[in-house]
Structure 1
């Protein structure tokens, strides 16, 4: 199937330093893609190039088969929701939502009708006549989302749209964003540095680092079988331990694990460590996290992370016997 978006070999620099280095990416129709990475990874620059706010030094951006590489934002089939929402404070929610149609010369009665319908889609039917200052942060975010969706873009771009919200509201908005995306069927591209947010929203996760794509795919695969050491450490917590390959297994200070040729390290997720094994451990730190205890223990010179049941009686300074589920050891190449 032909992708909706085809980004080909994009390179971009600010001054002497490259921000993106040969990035290629395909996005399917109706997909929810999340660009995940630390500050400076290039994710926001890539979003800006996709939206037309930056022109790449090299490479191409095709949307629905049309070369949009040098098109201005207003001339390409995209819309953007920014972190600060960029609502007009003197306009009502309805007028904000209908602003794009107003710029296209759509008559007031029609744009008001369509704005009301879109506000209903995002759960704000009663907010049509309210000004932005009368709305909560989550409501303002949904008004910005409705405004972007009303112009019927092929691709909706979201630049850390939940970054200004508190934790409880951010989690609520994650659920609402995913539900809205499924309802309207528009392809979403969402930038974040929050791993939990990325896993909650994405059906296509793209992990970026230093201007390159480290890994991409369904979030379950990226988490369970990351393609690089960086992806294993940025996408959730892991203990990374070096090892030596021989006869299809890799020997490490924490045990032996099956591995393909060329593997040099093993990543161990903390949920795959349990009490009651043969590994003698000195407990260094215990942090209560509500549903579990995050335990740091020294095992054969390695600082091992474990997630143990919240009711586990364990404290810093204890000695414990730990077990690692070798089936879940993640073999990685350098």
Structure 2
């Protein structure tokens, strides 16, 4: 097996007495699009800054292309960073902005201009070479920043919430463009965000962070469908969480005692273990469908129309602390105040340590 492009080994970091990263190890493969996903304070931006050379970790090592880059300054390592505010020079033309890194490398003017034009064409801005940044839209400035980062041909491109300043429609458009550009150039992208929808739209490698640690990592489909932890189940998309205790375990199945009654599931766990059953909204069934596990009755507290579906919130009739979240077809006739049966296919219930 080939060595990873980026190898983060046992990295910890403290700001004074505050530990913001706690023994983080992570491998990034060549050509991958990795998303560092987590809430504010999870450590994802600090980890990106360590990768970019802006922070030297308190402990641990960072290897890029097999070389120890832990203490190498930003300009000397094979990475470039795209910041949320883009950091374009307002007095320079777009072409000069894109060619700035090449200028710092001593590349001659004619070569700089040619490569800057190629990079702008790559991001769909071939005609903007002579314009100034203030003449461009937010999305176009974001693409200029991307071209400036790519023109120096880094081994790894780091993106610090690059879409955070854009409106929703433009953000969705730029997600598509970022993914397409990354596939074309083949450079490994490492992208920080707190937006789980953005993570699922872009990543082929999703890293969920919380409190300075990696909670879960893998393909976004796996992280969403089978999250490794309770936190991952609630941050990477929504889940209904039903608390319970393993009452019996036998031949690859477990019986979990919950406030709604016993639930028989495939899985392994020790009797007496506290667990949580996580159910994604699209898997929660309103009604007792054939072949599903009944989860009890609930009173609908809210129905939110979201275009292609309705998001239904309901409170368990037995346990007021248990809130069900369901996605149902837009045409479904469900109203606040309705009392409904709730069920789910056993195969769609995720068994998690509590």
Aligned to 1:312: 332
User: What aligned pairs does 1:200-215 form with structure 2 within 5 A after superposition?
Assistant: 200-215=201-216
Deviation string 1:32-65 (CA, Å, 9 cap, x unpaired) is: 0000000000000000000000000100000001
Q: For 2:211 and 2:118, locate their aligned partners in 1 and report how far apart those are by CA, in whole Å.
A: 42
Deviation string 1:123-167 (CA, Å, 9 cap, x unpaired) is: 100111110000010100000000000001000000000000000
The alignment's C-alpha RMSD in Å is 1.1
- 3-state secondary structure, aligned to 1:198: helix
Does the alignment pair 1:289 with 2:306?
A: yes
Aligned to 1:12: 13
Q: For 2:55 and 2:183, locate their aligned partners in 1 and report how far apart those are by CA, in whole Å.
A: 29
The offset of 1:209, in angstroms, is 0.3
Aligned to 2:258: 252
Q: Mind listing any 5+ residue stretches in structure 1 that lack a counterpart?
A: none
Does the alignment pair 1:97 with 2:86?
A: no
Deviates more, 1:271-280 or 1:237-246: 271-280
The offset of 1:244, in angstroms, is 1.8
Q: For 1:310 and 1:252, locate their aligned partners in 2 and report how far apart those are by CA, in whole Å.
A: 31
User: What aligned pairs does 1:109-258 form with structure 2 within 5 A after superposition?
Assistant: 109-245=110-246, 246-247=248-249, 248-249=253-254, 250-254=256-260, 256=263, 257-258=265-266
Aligned to 1:62: 63
Q: For 2:245 and 2:20, locate their aligned partners in 1 and report how far apart those are by CA, in whole Å.
A: 35
With the length of structure 1 as denominator, give the TM-score of the two structures: 0.98
Deviation string 1:167-201 (CA, Å, 9 cap, x unpaired) is: 00000000000000000000000000000000000
- 3-state secondary structure, aligned to 2:96: helix
Q: Mind listing any 5+ residue stretches in structure 2 that lack a counterpart?
A: 289-293
Give the aligned length.
Answer: 334
Q: For 1:294 and 1:251, locate their aligned partners in 2 and report how far apart those are by CA, in whole Å.
A: 27
Deviation string 1:37-96 (CA, Å, 9 cap, x unpaired) is: 000000000000000000001000000010000000001000000000000001111110
Aligned to 2:24: 23
Aligned to 1:82: 83
The offset of 1:24, in angstroms, is 0.3
- 3-state secondary structure, aligned to 2:287: strand
With the length of structure 2 as denominator, give the TM-score of the two structures: 0.92
Aligned to 2:280: 269
Q: For 2:353 and 2:299, locate their aligned partners in 1 and report how far apart those are by CA, in whole Å.
A: 29
